[in-house]
Amino acid sequence: MQDHITPRRVVILGGGFAGLFAARALRRSPVAVTVVDRRAHHLFQPLLYQCASGILSEGQIAQPLRAVLRRHHNVSCVLAEATDVDVGAQVVHLRRPDGGALDLPYDDLIVGVGMRQSYFGHDEFAAHAPGMKTLHDALDIRRRIYRAFEMAETASDAGERQEWLTFALVGGGPTGVELAGQIREIAGHTLDREFRKTDSAQARVLLFEGSGEVLGAFGHPLALRAARTLRSLGVELHLSTRVTEVDVHGLTVEGQDGATTRFDARTVLWTAGVEAPPIAAALARATGAGQDRAGRIFVEPDLTVPGHPEIHVTGDVMSLNKLPGLAEVAMQSGAYAGRAVRHAVEGRTKQPKPFRYLDLGSAAYISRGKAVVKAGPLHLSGAVGWLAWLFIHLAFLTGFRSRLGAVLSWSVSFVTSSRRERAFTMPDADTSAGRAQSAPPPP
């Protein structure tokens, strides 16, 4: 334990739910906490799809890390990405946004870096089928969705128009289901009667899932209800299929019988699969820790890396008892790791109890007034499920401003079907226009 002059140095990698709750658990401890993240904001990731679909703004789901932690006087924030760990010297190697290197010593290291999108060995798909793990991804998807309807309006023929009006989503988990429902609402209600040549309600939404049902983690009864709700909205479900090719004009899928089918769609969105970021592999190499197929790090029951009690791994990037990659798991594991460090600083010698996850349930929003919620033996759907979903997300949104803004936006969207956050940019066109405006007049 450090002396009273030099406080114990705690480095937290990741400003997501795990990192944030770890920092909060150390708020009143005599330690110096440094939160490292490659982005300067804390993101409420479960609502990314609502930003992508135009219901919520960026500011309603993302708060500056420094603002969230401003009352934590023992916490500082560093904008950088962890690239490696020297466990012998107890130093984290960082890369700043400008490419510069930075070394950060630690006495305790809490890793909560989350996961990133996985294309199952086909990274070439990413150019045509963006995932949705970051705020940048959500804004890119918003641009692609609303641009598609604009392009359909000026299509040269019916075939091209239908390509623009076809949206393909790969992955039938919560994100895929939620996005599919939102796109159908946009097409059938939000954009209704806004176009002169295009009937937005004719848009096709295709949802591809490798297993035999959507929302399989919610259990068979809720999966059936979700599928029924999606079909009633007009979403076309293609189950037990595997995507084999994606390009600018659509995708090719393979069914259970081995037959391949081509689907023309100008908008393909990837919501299937995750993998650990490179720092997880670097930490595993440095410590000798094992990793699962997705790159998650195997941890002890107290969330420490085997042989390294000074390193805790939390949230989505940890592998323990097949815990799911949920925000609630990240919150609880981050808080647990923070308390473990606090107890060590306070000189408690008693062995901490193993981490135990309290399952508060899972929820997925499908459309206005319709959601599915699973909390232990309690299964909710329809309007009751939607009310439960609303309560859960309001309870965990960071900051009063975010909660109030979300309530107002949800109220407007629910009552009027409108979406206030529909602005999107076209980078190439905007850059060209800017250059033309700033160019000097011809002689």
pLDDT in tens, 7-50: 999 999 999 999 999 999 999 999 999 999 999 999 989 889 99
> Which residues, at least 6 apart from 431, have a Cβ–Cβ distance to it below 8 Å?
none
Q: Record the tokens describing residue 290, joined without a space.
A: 């094992």
Residue 313: name the closest of 325, 305, 321 by CA: 305
Q: Just list the catalytic residues.
A: 178
Whole-prediction pTM value?
0.90
Amino acid code (one letter) for 135? L
Say what the pLDDT of residue 384 is. 87
Euclidean distance between CA atoms 410 and 418, whole angstroms? 10
How far does CA 377 lie from the centroid of its chain?
A: 26
- For residues 140 and 49, the answer to whether their CB atoms sit within 8 Å is no
- For residues 338 and 355, the answer to whether their CB atoms sit within 8 Å is no
H or E stretch at 330: helix 327-345
Euclidean distance between CA atoms 345 and 330, whole angstroms? 23
Q: Record the tokens describing residue 412, joined without a space.
A: 């407007």
Say what the pLDDT of residue 22 is. 98
| SS3 of residue 390 by DSSP | helix
Q: For the chain, list residues with pLDDT below 70.
A: 1-5, 394-407, 410-416, 428-443
Say what the pLDDT of residue 1 is. 44
Euclidean distance between CA atoms 271 and 274, whole angstroms? 9
Q: What digits encode the pLDDT tens for the residues 131-186?
A: 999 999 999 999 999 999 999 999 999 999 999 999 999 999 999 999 999 999 99
Euclidean distance between CA atoms 379 and 373, whole angstroms? 6
Say what the pLDDT of residue 397 is. 66
> What angle do the packed helices 327-345 and 17-25 form, to 10 degrees?
30
